[in-house]
Amino acid sequence: MIAPETIARIKELMLEASVYEDDLDESFILGGGPGGQKTNKTSNVVRLCHEPSGLSVRCSETRSRETNRWLARRQLSGLILEKESGIKTAARQAREKIRRQKRRRSRRQKQKMLDDKHAHSAKKAARRQPIPDCCD
């Protein structure tokens, strides 16, 4: 259950983003994923569509439908504010950073990295002591 203070903050965020209950199209979807039988049998996933902006949000963070309703409103309000202001949220920046890290390197980048590694290993090999001939 969400605390009344949290609900009040979400309502303030909705007002700031100009999201009104009349503009929202709310539907409930059958859940899935971890959570067992409770999630798979009940329609606890909330999908919110904001008709004026055309944005839609799907929330299935918890097993509670009521909690997901408020979390979806918070997500939608944040998304609208982000779109209006052009400033990316911390969560979106983190997602994009991970995506960049996982991105495959180009052939040129890969070749440059390998050349640097070969140069470094050659430098280290030149520092090694020569192996003495023990069988003479």
Are the C-beta atoms of residues 76 and 18 closer than 8 Å to each other? no
**Pairwise pLDDT comparison (130 vs 7), residue with the higher score:** 7
The phi and psi torsions of 129 (rounded to 5 degrees) equal -75, 140
Residue 136 has what pLDDT? Answer: 57
- Which domains, and CATH codes, for the chain? 4-87 (3.30.160.20), 92-119 (no CATH)
State how far the Cα of 32 lies from the Cα of 5, in Å rounded to an integer.
29
- Average pLDDT of 9-22? 91
State how beta strands 24-29 and 55-59 pair: unpaired
Predicted local confidence at residue 68, as pLDDT: 94
Report pLDDT for 63.
Answer: 85
Q: Which amino acid is at 120?
A: H
Under 8 Å between Cβ of 8 and 73: no
Task: Examine the pLDDT at 19 and tell me if it is beyond 70.
Answer: yes
d(CA 38, CA 63): 8
Phi/psi at 46 (nearest 5 deg)? -110, 130
* Confidence at residue 113, expressed as pLDDT on a 0 to 100 scale: 95
Residue 57 has pLDDT above 80, yes or no: yes
Any residues with CB less than 8 A from the CB of 55 and at least 6 apart, and which? 49, 76, 79, 80, 83
In sequence order, the 6+-apart residues with CB closer than 8 A to the CB of 113 are 105
